[in-house]
């Protein structure tokens, strides 16, 4: 990095803001293409935010509107995550998952999900009887289910670490403890102002800029004066970029006797309007079992607190939700787990909103990269590479 950039001198061809799983997937892709890449990340290491606070499910692309980016990129990403993980020694398990109807009234909802899964060409998806579902998960009182054999779980942190290693091996540089504070368009690219963790300011110059800043993607777009609620900027149509955070808290099933009762992700019917897929049971690559995530819109000025501050109401809600799956689950078998935050373009009164991949003269915006962003990380990187071609 230089503090006084010379016109025409680039510090890197492409600067990527954010070293989450997606920013690092983009970094390795562009570095492998032979581009000079610099990733700027305000934290002291990678994947400190959403990329390490999620369910780690390798989604099969069941729920998303057919043809949407979420559908296409998740569908393409699913087999690629397994291939990548196996090639890079990232823990991954092809567990499959079941989406269950637990009462007669839920059969109709199951049908809707199944039709969407068929329309989305989900690999191997099947509608199965309660008896067959109970062969797979004998302790869940399932009436009828959808079986998705291509769903699995991956170690989210190890995945991001493998992208980082691959990016660095192909020449990418990563500036941790540096925050992007302002951006100016200059002839031939961008001038990016940084502040390091000790408060020291510097500037760098690049030809292209990838905004993979997760929850701060809109703040970064605002540095370039894009109207966040959509509109026109320098005669260019700009989409809605404003985001809101939606919290997802988890409880862990800490008693091995209860955790052993579940071997794969088990989901109820989705709650898209609430902003998520409904409190479900997930397993991780170490065999841990978790309940969650919840869906809670947080106020626009509330900070994202990664501590799980427990309340009796939430404990009671999770216990009740958990007992729908495991009727014998006891209060002393669960403990507060992690909290993650979904970066959403979706408003509380809206249905599902797609990922935003938008580009304008060397600037690529990745907005609303909530679930299934981890599963879609490699195809998202391809989208960025195509936008910069
Ligand atoms: C509760 C929950 C469950 C989920 N479950 C799944 C799942 O099971 N499967 C799945 O596929 N997906 C899941 N997801 C989605 C997935 O976690 C995200 O899509 C993915 O992690 C997004 O990665 P990212 O790199 O875009 O963002 P992040 O990981 O948030 O990274 C953004 C980075 O940008 C940095 N940054 C921001 N502003 C600046 C700045 N000005 N200067 C420097 N750095 C900056 C931040 O510090 C941060 O490190 C889930 C998400 C949540 C919240």
Domains of the chain listed by start with CATH number:
12-53+158-242+352-387 (3.50.50.60), 94-150+244-344 (3.30.9.10)
Please, are residues 42 and 181 in contact by the beta-carbon 8 Å criterion? no
Q: Does the beta carbon of 374 lie inside 6 Å of ligand 1? A: yes
Pick from 25, 27, 54 the residue to mutate for probing ligand 1's pocket: most ligand atoms within 8 Å of its CB. Answer: 54
In sequence order, the β-bridge partners of residue 229 are 240
**Count of residues in the chain:** 389
Predicted local distance difference test score (pLDDT) of residue 4: 38
Please, are residues 153 and 285 in contact by the beta-carbon 8 Å criterion? yes
Predicted local distance difference test score (pLDDT) of residue 342: 97
Please, are residues 51 and 22 in contact by the beta-carbon 8 Å criterion? yes
pLDDT in tens, 254-265: 999 999 999 999
Predicted local distance difference test score (pLDDT) of residue 6: 43
Q: Does the beta carbon of 284 lie inside 6 Å of ligand 1? A: no
Q: Does the beta carbon of 137 lie inside 6 Å of ligand 1? A: no
In sequence order, the β-bridge partners of residue 365 are 211, 358
Please, are residues 319 and 328 in contact by the beta-carbon 8 Å criterion? no
- Residue 181: CB atoms within 10 Å: 13
Residue 253, φ and ψ in degrees, nearest 5: -90, 105
Which atom of ligand 1 lies at the shortest distance from residue 194's CA?
42
Please, are residues 29 and 4 in contact by the beta-carbon 8 Å criterion? no
Do β-strands 178-186 and 189-196 pair in parallel, antiparallel, or remain unpaired? Answer: antiparallel
Predicted local distance difference test score (pLDDT) of residue 239: 98
CB crowding 307-330: b at 16 or more within 10 Å, else e: ebeeeeebeebbbebbebbbeebe
Q: Does the beta carbon of 211 lie inside 6 Å of ligand 1? A: no
Pick from 51, 152, 159, 306 the residue to mutate for probing ligand 1's pocket: most ligand atoms within 8 Å of its CB. Answer: 51
Which atom of ligand 1 lies at the shortest distance from residue 339's CA?
1
In 298-380, beta strands by DSSP E: 334-344, 356-360, 363-367
DSSP code of residue 331: G
CA angle 325, 254, 149 (to 5 degrees): 50
Predicted local distance difference test score (pLDDT) of residue 272: 57
d(CA 76, CA 338): 28
Which atom of ligand 1 lies at the shortest distance from residue 153's CA?
8
Predicted local distance difference test score (pLDDT) of residue 278: 65
Q: Does the beta carbon of 56 lie inside 6 Å of ligand 1? A: yes
Predicted local distance difference test score (pLDDT) of residue 5: 40
| CA 105 / ligand 1 centre spacing (Å) | 35
Q: Does the beta carbon of 337 lie inside 6 Å of ligand 1? A: no
Q: Which residue matches tokens 């979706």?
A: 346
Residue 179: closest CA among 161, 192, 165, 162:
192
Report residues of the chain scoring pLDDT below 50. Answer: 1-7
Please, are residues 31 and 55 in contact by the beta-carbon 8 Å criterion? no
Which atom of ligand 1 lies at the shortest distance from residue 372's CA?
11
Predicted local distance difference test score (pLDDT) of residue 351: 84
Q: How many helices (H) and strands (E) does the chain have?
A: 9, 22
Structure tokens at 192: 């990016």
What is the value of pTM for the model shown? 0.96
Q: Does the beta carbon of 42 lie inside 6 Å of ligand 1? A: yes
- Measured by CA distance, the residue closest to atom 4 of ligand 1 is 54
CA 30 to chain centre: 20
């Amino acid at each position: 990095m230089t503090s006084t950039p010379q016109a025409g001198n680039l510090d890197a061809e492409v600067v990527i803001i954010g070293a989450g799983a997606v920013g690092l997937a983009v970094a390795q892709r562009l570095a492998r293409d032979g581009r000079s890449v610099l990733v700027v990340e305000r934290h002291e290491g990678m994947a400190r935010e959403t990329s390490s606070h999620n369910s780690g499910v390798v989604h099969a692309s069941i729920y998303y509107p057919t043809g949407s980016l979420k559908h296409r990129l998740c569908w393409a990403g699913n087999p690629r995550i397994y291939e990548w993980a196996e090639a890079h020694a990232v823990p991954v398990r092809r567990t499959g998952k079941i989406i269950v109807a637990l009462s007669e009234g839920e059969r109709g909802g199951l049908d809707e999900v199944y039709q969407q899964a068929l329309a989305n060409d989900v690999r191997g998806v099947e509608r199965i009887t309660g008896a067959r579902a109970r062969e797979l998960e004998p302790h869940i009182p399932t009436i009828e289910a959808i079986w998705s054999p291509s769903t699995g779980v991956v170690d989210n942190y190890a995945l991001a670490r493998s992208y980082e290693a691959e990016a660095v091996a192909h020449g990418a540089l990563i500036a941790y403890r540096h925050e992007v504070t302002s951006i100016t368009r200059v002839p031939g690219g961008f001038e990016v102002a940084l502040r390091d963790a000790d408060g020291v300011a510097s500037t760098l110059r690049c030809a292209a800029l990838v905004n993979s800043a997760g929850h701060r993607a809109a703040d970064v777009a605002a540095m370039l004066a894009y109207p966040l609620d959509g509109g026109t900027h320098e005669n260019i149509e700009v989409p809605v970029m404003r985001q809101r955070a939606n919290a997802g808290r988890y409880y862990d099933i800490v008693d091995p006797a209860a955790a052993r009762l579940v071997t794969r992700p088990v989901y109820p019917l989705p709650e898209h309007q609430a902003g998520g897929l409904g409190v479900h049971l997930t397993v991780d690559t170490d065999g841990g079992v978790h309940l969650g995530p919840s869906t809670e819109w947080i106020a626009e000025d509330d900070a994202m607190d990664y501590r799980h501050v427990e309340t009796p109401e939430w404990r009671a809600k999770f216990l009740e939700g958990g007992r729908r799956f495991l009727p014998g689950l006891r209060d002393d078998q669960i403990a507060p787990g992690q909290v993650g935050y979904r970066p959403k373009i979706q408003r509380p009164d809206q249905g599902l909103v797609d990922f935003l991949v938008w580009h304008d003269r060397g600037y690529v915006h990745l907005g609303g990269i909530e679930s299934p962003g981890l599963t879609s990380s490699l195809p998202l990187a391809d989208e960025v590479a195509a936008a910069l071609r």
